[in-house]
């Protein structure tokens, strides 16, 4: 075995023990390869000592993660038992948990005032949604195909929302979340997915009424027109799209779509009112 | 070299935490976050070279892990499973057209004069950091999973979504490149 072959073998073996006999024999008489191997091991020992900037976010993340169920309870005010069931271990199964969260949110108090509650609700509802998919409850092909990317998109925005520092940032992210939900209307409206469409309509209502409109009112007057103008237009487009889908969809899909029409129209006109009242 | 090999007791405790977290126990998942955050962040920092991006990705990975805990089956390696989620998050971010390209940070703060730096000079450590940082991301990911996380090649393959032979090849090439760059410096240090 020559030195070149020996070095290649050494590069391919990552554990210091268990060198093949032939390689051991080469190392026994070749000082240069022994030194080369020593440097290789030295290099790797030092990799774990490479300095990196310290992460400062772990504690904040843990604090927010552990606080979420409490925020949800506060946000729902009066549906505490329902939400506790959703967050705690349950015998009812993942599907039941998901339904409990969403139905508790919507039926008892649609005008939730807490932004953190919205973020938490999205996360918990989506977690349960994911569990439901995993446990193999029968689903339409339409809803199956959207669940993964929808989850990923919403989780990503949900995280941004939890760290947004100003009302303008929060408004932009909430509008983005509303857009993500609205983009999934089409596939669900045409599929056999009444339950998923109803859920999406309820999430949309929460995001627009309890999140977006609430935060929009906190914007400075000078920010209102440039920030809210495009969002009001997008909400109007969503209302038109949902209305068109309602005309083309099976009867059981109509109501959730009409709910979205109402929410989007109300959102659009209330946003307009916010910048018109200043002028 | 940092080891992530666990004792039986620690493994048993972790499995119990995972079971509780799968049942919705957030406190249990918080303990898992506490245990795994730093290692995930460190690996992601090496991949992204940006603290904020690495923190964002760590956070995103852990939230996705929480959302998908029901998909994790014991006795698979939970640590490797987290890294797989983290790698998917990294790849999504990497492909994003809005991603800001991060150059390798030139002025890394050393950790202080620990025993390691007594052995290897700050200059050599800086060179090592630069050489690791300049490896292609795929090679760097495999190399660090092996060297720092001590994952098996099969686990590395699962994390990165590649074949085991490819994982071995990337590790081999990463080592080869590092040795080509650093051997002369290490030679000088030895003298």
Q: What is the third-level CATH fold of B1-98?
A: Rna Polymerase Sigma Factor; Chain: A (1.10.1740)
Of A94-98, A201-205, B167-171, the range with the lowest mean pLDDT is: A94-98
In a domain, A17, yes or no: no
Q: What whole-number distance in Å separates Cα of residue B80 and Cα of residue B66? A: 15
pLDDT level of residue B169 (50, 70, 90 thresholds): very high
Of A28-37, A67-76, A171-180, B134-143, the range with the lowest mean pLDDT is: A67-76
**Minimum CA–CA partner of B1 in chain A:** A45
pLDDT > 90: what percent of chain A?
8
Of A93-97, A220-224, A247-251, B15-19, the range with the lowest mean pLDDT is: A93-97
Q: Answer whether residue B113 shows pLDDT above 50.
A: no
The answer, for B184 touching chain A at a CB cutoff of 8 Å, is no
Interface A–B counts its CB contacts (< 8 A) at 142
> Cβ distance A160 to A115 under 8 Å?
no
| Gap from A215 CA to chain B (nearest CA, Å) | 24
Burial environment of residue A277 by CB neighbours within 10 A (0 to 12, 13 to 18, 19 or more): exposed
Give the residue from B162, B159, B35, B185 showing the smallest Cα distance to B90: B159
Distance from chain centroid for Cα B87: 9
Nearest to A89 among B23, B37, B190 (CB): B23
Give the residue from A157, A144, A141, A264 showing the smallest Cα distance to A201: A264
Give the residue from A181, A103, A53, A102 showing the smallest Cα distance to B105: A53
Q: Answer whether residue A81 shows pLDDT above 80.
A: no
Average pLDDT over residues A99-104: 29
DSSP B47: H
The pLDDT score that the predictor gives to residue A102 is 31
- The first and second tokens of residue A123, run together, are 């996360």
Distance from chain centroid for Cα B59: 14
The pLDDT score that the predictor gives to residue A46 is 85
Q: What is the third-level CATH fold of B114-191?
A: Arc Repressor Mutant, subunit A (1.10.10)
In chain B, count of helices (H) and strands (E)?
9, 0
The pLDDT score that the predictor gives to residue B85 is 94
pLDDT tens digits for range B128-152: 888 999 999 999 999 999 999 989 9
ipTM score above 0.90: no
pLDDT > 70: what percent of chain B?
80
| Alpha carbon distances (Å) from A51 to A29, A85, B8, B131 | 37, 44, 31, 14
Q: Answer whether residue A186 shows pLDDT above 80.
A: yes
| Alpha carbon distances (Å) from A138 to A70, A95, A162, A229 | 32, 11, 33, 41
H helices of chain A, in order, are: 3-12, 21-29, 31-47, 58-76, 80-87, 94-108, 115-134, 141-163, 167-183, 185-190, 194-205, 213-216, 221-248, 251-278
Give the residue from B168, B82, B81 showing the smallest Cα distance to A8: B168
In a domain, A137, yes or no: yes
Enumerate the domain spans of chain B: 1-98, 114-191
The pLDDT score that the predictor gives to residue B170 is 95
CA angle A275, A276, A279 (to 5 degrees): 95
Query: Tokens 């307009």 sit at which residue?
Result: A272
Nearest to B67 among A35, A51, A151 (CB): A151
Burial environment of residue A30 by CB neighbours within 10 A (0 to 12, 13 to 18, 19 or more): middle
Please answer yes or no on whether A49 and B117 come within 8 Å at the CB atom: yes
Interface test with B, best of A50, A53, A60, A150 (most B CBs within 10 A): A50
Nearest to B33 among A42, A48, A62 (CB): A62
Boundaries of domain holding A256: 58-278
Interface test with A, best of B26, B145, B189 (most A CBs within 10 A): B26
Nearest to A46 among B38, B56, B125 (CB): B125
DSSP A218: T
Q: What whole-number distance in Å separates Cα of residue B74 and Cα of residue B18? A: 9
- HSE, side-chain direction, 13 A CA sphere, residue B191: 5
The answer, for B63 touching chain A at a CB cutoff of 8 Å, is yes
The pLDDT score that the predictor gives to residue B167 is 95
pLDDT level of residue B119 (50, 70, 90 thresholds): low
Residues of A in Cβ contact (< 8 Å) with B129: 50-51
Count of CB atoms situated within 10 Å of the CB of A178: 26
In a domain, A39, yes or no: no
Please answer yes or no on whether B172 and A155 come within 8 Å at the CB atom: no
Q: Answer whether residue B98 shows pLDDT above 80.
A: no
Q: What whole-number distance in Å separates Cα of residue A161 and Cα of residue A175? A: 11
In a domain, A265, yes or no: yes
Q: Count structural domains, chain A.
A: 1
pLDDT tens digits for range B16-47: 999 998 888 888 999 999 999 999 999 999 99
Residues of B in Cβ contact (< 8 Å) with A130: 67-68, 70
Average pLDDT over residues A138-154: 51
pLDDT tens digits for range B2-15: 344 556 777 788 88
């Amino acid at each position: 075995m020559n030195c070149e072959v020996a070095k290649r073998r050494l590069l391919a073996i990552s554990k210091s023990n268990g060198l093949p006999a032939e390689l051991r024999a080469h190392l026994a008489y070749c000082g240069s390869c022994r030194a080369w191997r020593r440097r290789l091991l030295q290099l790797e020992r030092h990799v774990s000592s490479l300095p990196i900037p310290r992460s400062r976010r772990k504690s904040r993340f843990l604090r927010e993660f552990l606080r979420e169920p409490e925020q949800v309870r506060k946000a729902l005010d009066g549906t505490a038992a329902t939400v506790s069931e959703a967050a705690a271990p349950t015998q009812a199964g993942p599907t039941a948990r998901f339904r409990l969260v969403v139905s508790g949110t919507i039926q008892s108090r649609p005008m939730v005032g807490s932004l953190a509650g919205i973020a938490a609700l999205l996360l918990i509802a989506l977690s349960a949604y994911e569990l439901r998919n995993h446990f193999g409850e029968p689903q339409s092909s339409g809803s199956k195909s959207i669940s993964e990317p929808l989850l990923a998109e919403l989780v990503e925005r949900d995280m941004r929302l939890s760290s947004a520092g100003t009302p303008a940032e929060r408004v932009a992210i909430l509008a983005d979340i509303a857009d993500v939900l609205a983009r999934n209307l089409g596939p669900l409206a045409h599929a056999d997915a009444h339950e998923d469409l109803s859920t999406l309509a309820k999430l949309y209502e929460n995001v627009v009424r309890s999140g977006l409109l609430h935060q929009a009112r906190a914007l400075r007057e000078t920010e209102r027109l440039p920030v809210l103008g495009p969002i009001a237009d997008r909400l109007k487009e969503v209302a038109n799209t949902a209305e068109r889908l309602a005309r083309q969809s099976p009867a059981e899909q109509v109501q959730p779509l009409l709910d979205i029409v109402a929410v989007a129209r109300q959102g659009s006109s209330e946003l307009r009112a916010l910048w018109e009242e200043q002028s | 070299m940092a080891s992530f090999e666990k004792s039986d007791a620690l493994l048993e405790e972790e499995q119990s935490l995972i079971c509780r977290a799968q049942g919705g126990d957030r406190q249990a998942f918080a303990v898992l976050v506490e245990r795994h955050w730093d290692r995930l962040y460190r690996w992601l920092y090496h991949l992204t070279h940006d603290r904020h991006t690495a923190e964002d990705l760590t956070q995103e990975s852990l939230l996705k892990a929480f959302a998908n805990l029901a998909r994790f089956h014991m006795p698979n390696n939970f640590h490797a499973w987290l890294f797989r989620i983290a790698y998917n998050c990294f790849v999504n971010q990497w492909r994003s057209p809005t991603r800001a390209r991060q150059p390798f940070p030139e002025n890394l703060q050393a950790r202080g004069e620990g025993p390691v730096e007594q052995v290897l000079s700050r200059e050599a450590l800086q060179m090592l950091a630069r050489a690791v940082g300049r490896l292609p991301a795929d090679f760097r990911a495999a190399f660090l999973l092996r060297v720092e996380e001590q994952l098996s090649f099969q686990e590395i393959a699962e994390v990165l979504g590649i074949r085991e032979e490819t994982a071995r090849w990337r590790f081999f090439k990463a080592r080869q490149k590092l040795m080509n760059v650093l051997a002369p410096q290490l030679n000088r240090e030895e003298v």
